[in-house]
Amino acid sequence: MNIFIVEDEELAVKKLLKTLLTIDPDIQIAGTADSISSSVEWLQGNPQPDLILMDIELCDGQSFEIFNLIEVKSPVIFTTSYDEYALKAFKVNSVDYLLKPIQKEDMEAALTKFRSLKKVYNKEEEGGLNMSSLVKELQSKLQSKDYRKRFLVKHIQKLISIEVDDIAYFYSDDRLNFFKTHDNKKFIVDYTMDEIEKMISPDEYFRINRAFLVSPKSIDQISDYFGNRLILRLNPPVDKDALVSREKVTEFKNWMGR
């Protein structure tokens, strides 16, 4: 099986390669690309691979744009850090996706599914998948996602509603989860960080590590930190280090530069 990998994080590529070869040592990596432009160039200059593993968020935009520029005949398994519920269209249409961080068992199940559907992929006259229409459907699902606009929280002896736009960042501390507003008010929130991440727009908040979800307006300063990480100075201040994990650095820089 020849696989083409589209992924803009070098560490993620290395992990994918290791996972794939652990599952099946006979897998051949046809090539890799880290952007829309390099993916288009590779696909135009090489035979179509058996399968493409494609990250949705790339350094120069969303990988959906690739399908607007060239015809992609190979089946695609998308990878993403974002809400899995928005990706049900691909489940229905027999194209899989993997939610980051990618687990070996998930990759193995996706490859098994691909092998079982290979004859269908290769026979358009028997109802092969139209990748263009599937991409448009997924893109529509992602763009139409309704995110939470406010949180209802306890304050003294009453409940108050806080607009999401007023929240600077969410964070965990001693097994409790909080958010701080831009005017430095602190509230406990009754959701896990994973749940909160799914509720709010990935354009407006970024999960820099397991304990922090930050908005760009809350970031006063970004500095290098040992271990190839970054450290953020947040406003309003917080009494714990807001570190961008090594695996998130490239994605974070892309997000901040949009």
CATH number of the domain within which 249 lies: 2.40.50.1020
Structural domains of the chain, count: 2
Query: What is the reported pLDDT for 70?
Result: 86
Residues 130 and 197 in one domain: no
For residues 131 and 174, membership in a common domain is answered with no
pLDDT higher than threshold 70 for residue 82: no
**Is residue 116 over pLDDT 90?**
no
At 59 the pLDDT is 82
Average pLDDT, the chain: 84
Of 23-37, 64-78, 163-177, 243-257, the poorest mean pLDDT is in 64-78
Last residue of a domain, one of 143, 168, 184: 143
Q: Is pTM beyond 0.75 here?
A: no
pLDDT of residue 80: 78
Output 87 or 35, whichever has higher pLDDT. 35
pLDDT confidence tier of residue 136, bands split at 50, 70 and 90 = low
Residue 127 Rama label (left phi>0; alpha psi -120 to 50; beta)? left
Same domain, residue pair 114 and 203: no
pLDDT at 77: 86
User: Does residue 212 share a domain with residue 90?
Assistant: no
pLDDT class for 75, splitting at 50, 70, 90?
A: confident
Which residues form the domain of 216?
150-256
Instruction: Give the percent of the chain with pLDDT over 90.
Output: 51
Residues linked to residue 180 through DSSP beta bridges, in sequence order:
169, 186
Residue with the bigger pLDDT between 9 and 131: it is 9
Question: Do both 7 and 77 map to the same domain?
Answer: yes
Whether 159 and 139 share a structural domain: no
Give CA separation, 104 vs 7, 68, 78, 230, in Å. 17, 31, 15, 28
- Give me the helix-helix angle, 10-23 and 104-121, nearest 10°: 70
* pLDDT higher at 61 or 118: 61
Last residue of a domain, one of 83, 113, 143: 143
- 80 and 6 fall within a common domain: yes
pLDDT at 35: 92
> Across residues 121-125, what is the average pLDDT?
48
Q: Are residues 112 and 25 in the same domain?
A: yes
DSSP string for 87-156: GHHHHHTT--EEESSPPHHHHHHHHHHHHHHHHHHT-GGGT---HHHHHHHHHHHHHTPPPP-EEEEEET
Q: In terms of pLDDT, which residue wins out, 86 or 70? A: 70
By the 8 A CB rule, do 164 and 204 touch?
Answer: yes
Based on the domain organization, do 113 and 137 belong to the same domain? yes
Do 118 and 160 sit in the same domain of this protein? no
pLDDT confidence tier of residue 213, bands split at 50, 70 and 90: very high
pLDDT band (50, 70, 90) for residue 115: confident
Q: Which of 103, 123, 143 is the endpoint of a domain?
A: 143
